[in-house]
Structure 1
Amino acid sequence: MVDLGKFLQARRARVNPAEVGLPEHDRRRVPGLRREELALLAGVSVDYYTRLEQGRAKRPSDQVLDAVSRALGLDEATRRHLHRLAGMTRLEPGHPSAELGLPLRTMLEGIEAFPAMVSNHRKDVLATNRMMRLLLGGFGWSLEGANFARLLFEDESREFFPDWESVAAETVAQLRKMAALFPEDAAMAALIGELSIRHRRFSELWADAEVVDCIQGEVRFDHPLVGVLRLHKEQFRVADGSGQLLVTLSAAPGTDGYEKLALLGAGG
């Protein structure tokens, strides 16, 4: 499922030749850089880079992978992902778990003012607090036991997320990283295959080969009862190798988002 060569091809196709000093008028049959151009930028031979992309290069060095990462313009998270695909990372593979530990469940239940939930590496929702159920339940979503990615890519979800495109891109990029950490997970492979077949936009985003892990920033919800809420999202990866993720949504006191969350909580 996770293939180094396909990843390199996808990232190479996304590099704008003009941004790396190559002629803009040069006629190209496919987008992005040619293999020989990427090899030149990385300082490796064309033959070696070709073998790397074809999966025939045995144990590429950290220095080569870092040079290729720089030539592709990869950020730190994606650079580490490249090393992982090449088998050069020292990180131990994850051990997926659908069991929510008592300390994490206690923490989740203790978060009363803001929405929070825990999902696993496949975006299966393992647990939610009352405020998250009020927030997403307002869209008709039945959360626990559901898969967030599946829910998100249903057409109706676009009504709930004014910034649906960025939420979808982040979700797919997180799935890609988790797919590399849990390469033997048949359920993950089945999920990605299902979403790729059923949803064209998922397939397009998967082909972009973006990789992210924990994300923070603003996210908006268009709730049928309280209107548009602007909330701050924080994500925390559980440090036990399980792939579980704690997600919290909050707003500062005095803000419109804070007042609307209080209204939502009072009404529930």
Structure 2
Amino acid sequence: MTTDAAIRPRRAELAGFLKTRRARLSPEEVGLPPAPRRRTPGLRREEVAMLAGVGVTWYTWLEQGRPINASGQVLDAVARTLRLDRAEREHLYRLAEATPLRAWDAATAVSDAVRGVLHGLDPMPATLINSRFDIIESNTAHLSLFAEWHALPCVHKNLLWCCVTEPRAREWFLDYEREIPYLVARLRSSYGRHIGDPSWEEDLRRLREISPEFAELWSRHEVAEPRDRVLRFRHPAAGELTFNRTELTFPAAAGLSIAVYTPRDGSTRERLRLTRTPG
């Protein structure tokens, strides 16, 4: 059992963290009119609460480190308002003792053999994923290919989230309109084995809330099994690239697979080297 003496330092850390994140934002940065001179820098608690859509008293208690329940939905709103990056979001969740952004980070054990296959596939892009499309690990070629994919910081590290929440995805992913419904149908098939799992349910709730497109596709209840795919991407340095996408599974690593992107033609194979990032 966690004692109050053990909880107090965590609450104090949470209080200090929220205060400093609030202090670094000006009213102008979040779309509020310029404020007269203030005794302390940054946003007021009332302004954070208003922008996040939560009660002023609730947010004040959260920032004071009081013992209150903080749902993932409300913490998401606070995180967006304070413009937290991935590391900051995860820190907020840990301090608030809420469901983390990703439950697989600490729980998923990846053997050296699987890692060896993943990185041995280079220079072909490859990424290790689970049945929810969380990106567990990627090889250098995959990291280079998608290095400039995000206009905003990547928070979720998930193939599907990276598509439906990225404004530029349709510019890069030339088969977007065909492939996103397929990925959602794949996710629905996997969900059948995880119904009621709090981590899955929270993930799906968030994604439906963030992406009306996903919500509509999810409501169709379509399902699909893994199939080899032909995918085309437009890369800013290499131009249009066409790949055969294949998934490798491992009997000893249930639920994990490696998605491999093999150049489909000589032109793609030659220009793939142009995606490599320096270093």
Which TM-score band (shorter chain)?
0.5 to 0.7
Matches within 5 A, 1:179-190: 179-190=191-202
Distance in 2 between residues matched to 1:225 and 1:240, nearest whole Å: 38
Once residues 155 and 243 of structure 2 are traced to their aligned partners in structure 1, the CA distance between those partners, rounded to angstroms, is 21
Contact 2:235 2:275 in 1 (8 A): no
| CA distance in structure 1 between the aligned counterparts of 2:154 and 2:243, rounded to whole angstroms | 19
Aligned residue in 2 for 1:262: 273
Structure 1 letter corresponding to 2:138: T
1:186-201 equivalences in 2 (<5 Å): 186-201=198-213
Aligned to 1:130: 140
Matched, 1:235 2:247: yes
- Contact 1:117–1:248 (Cα < 8 Å) also in 2: yes
**Letter aligned with residue 113 of structure 2:** P
Partner of 1:110: 120
**Structure 1 counterpart of 2:72:** none
Mapped contact 1:230–1:251 kept (Cα < 8 A): yes
The alignment status of 1:246 with 2:253, answered yes or no, reads no
Q: Count the aligned residue pairs.
A: 172
Is it true that 1:172 corresponds to 2:184 in the alignment? yes
Q: Percent identity?
A: 23
SS for the counterpart of 2:162 is: helix
> Hey, what's the Cα distance between the residues in 1 that align with 2:257 and 2:181?
17
Distance apart, 1:144 and its partner CA: 9.8
Higher relative contact order (CA 8 A, sep 6+): 1
Alpha-carbon distance in structure 2 between the residues aligned to 1:245 and 1:125: 10
Determine if contact 2:237/2:274 at 8 Å carries over to the other structure.
Answer: no
**Deviation of the 1:265 alpha carbon:** 3.7
Question: Of residues 131, 149, 159 in structure 2, which corresponds to 1:148?
Answer: 159
Unpaired stretches in structure 2, ≥5 consecutive residues: 1-103
User: Following the alignment from structure 2 to structure 1, what is the Cα–Cα distance between the partners of residues 141 and 154?
Assistant: 12
SS at match of 1:126: strand
Aligned pairs for 1:5-20 within 5 A: none
In structure 2, give the amino acid aligned to 1:260. Answer: R
Counterpart AA for 1:126 = I
Structure 1 residue 108 displacement after superposition: 0.5
Alpha-carbon RMSD: 2.4
CA 1:267–1:225: 2 relative to 1, 3 Å = farther
Confirm or deny that 1:223 pairs with 2:235: yes
Distance 1:107 1:145 in 2: 24
Distance in 2, matches of 1:164 and 1:186, equals: 29
Aligned partners of 1:121 and 1:178 also within 8 Å: yes
